[in-house]
Amino acid sequence: MGLLSRLFKIPSFEGATNALLVELTLPTLTDAQRAELKIRVIEVFQKLGPPDLSPDAALLGLNQASRLTQLNFLALAMDELGFDPPLKKEILFKVPDPFDPKLADEHTLRAVARRLKWKHSIDVGMGVEPISFDTW
């Protein structure tokens, strides 16, 4: 079994792929796209959060989440809005739980980054600081 076939079976592969593809997408977004994406990511957070979660509480929760969690929520929102990843033949995955701690596997993040480098000749890494959706 090859490296790539094993990689696709790792539970955190989808979350790591989402995170790195969204990192590549963020600098390319227009102000209008950011505004639309902010509204949708709050709605997605509300759907996956506790019942009757207000938009303000969802925004607060998003701002307090880890960057990896935020990027996976953004991937879900981008997918719903029909935003394509910036790399051809790459897709955003629908992770069932962006809060899942299994998504924060450093080894998988590095493996996905190497795969993207090999396949697309692009270096990508995940930012360290959480995103502040208040400034979008």
Q: Give 33-54 pLDDT, tens digit per residue.
A: 999 999 999 999 999 888 889 9
pLDDT for 11:
58
> Domain for residue 136, yes or no?
no
User: Rounded to whole angstroms, how far apart are CA atoms 62 and 78?
Assistant: 15
> Domain for residue 45, yes or no?
yes
> Domain for residue 75, yes or no?
yes
User: Rounded to whole angstroms, how far apart are CA atoms 104 and 36?
Assistant: 27
Residue listed under structure tokens 């969690």: 69
- Packing angle between helix 106-120 and helix 13-25, nearest 10 degrees? 60
Judged against a pLDDT cut of 60, whether residue 6 lies above it is answered with no
Judged against a pLDDT cut of 80, whether residue 4 lies above it is answered with no
> Domain for residue 129, yes or no?
no
How many domains are there within the chain?
1
Judged against a pLDDT cut of 50, whether residue 5 lies above it is answered with no
Q: Binning pLDDT at 50, 70 and 90, where does residue 12 land?
A: confident
Q: Binning pLDDT at 50, 70 and 90, where does residue 102 land?
A: confident
pLDDT for 83:
94
Judged against a pLDDT cut of 50, whether residue 93 lies above it is answered with yes
Cβ contacts of 33 within 8 Å, gap of 6 or more: 83
Judged against a pLDDT cut of 80, whether residue 23 lies above it is answered with yes
> Domain for residue 111, yes or no?
yes
Q: How far is CA 19 from the centre of its chain?
A: 4
> Domain for residue 18, yes or no?
yes
Residue range 64-79: mean pLDDT, rounded: 96
Domain membership of residue 43 as a residue range = 3-124
Measured over the CA atoms of residue 104, residue 14, residue 132 and residue 51, the dihedral's sign is negative
> Domain for residue 132, yes or no?
no
Question: Based on the number of CB atoms within 10 Å of its own CB, is 21 exposed (0-12), middle (13-18) or buried (19 or more)?
Answer: buried
The answer to whether 53 and 45 have CB atoms below 8 angstroms apart is yes
User: Rounded to whole angstroms, how far apart are CA atoms 130 and 133?
Assistant: 9
Cβ contacts of 18 within 8 Å, gap of 6 or more: 71, 72, 75, 92, 93, 95
Q: Binning pLDDT at 50, 70 and 90, where does residue 106 land?
A: confident
> Domain for residue 99, yes or no?
yes
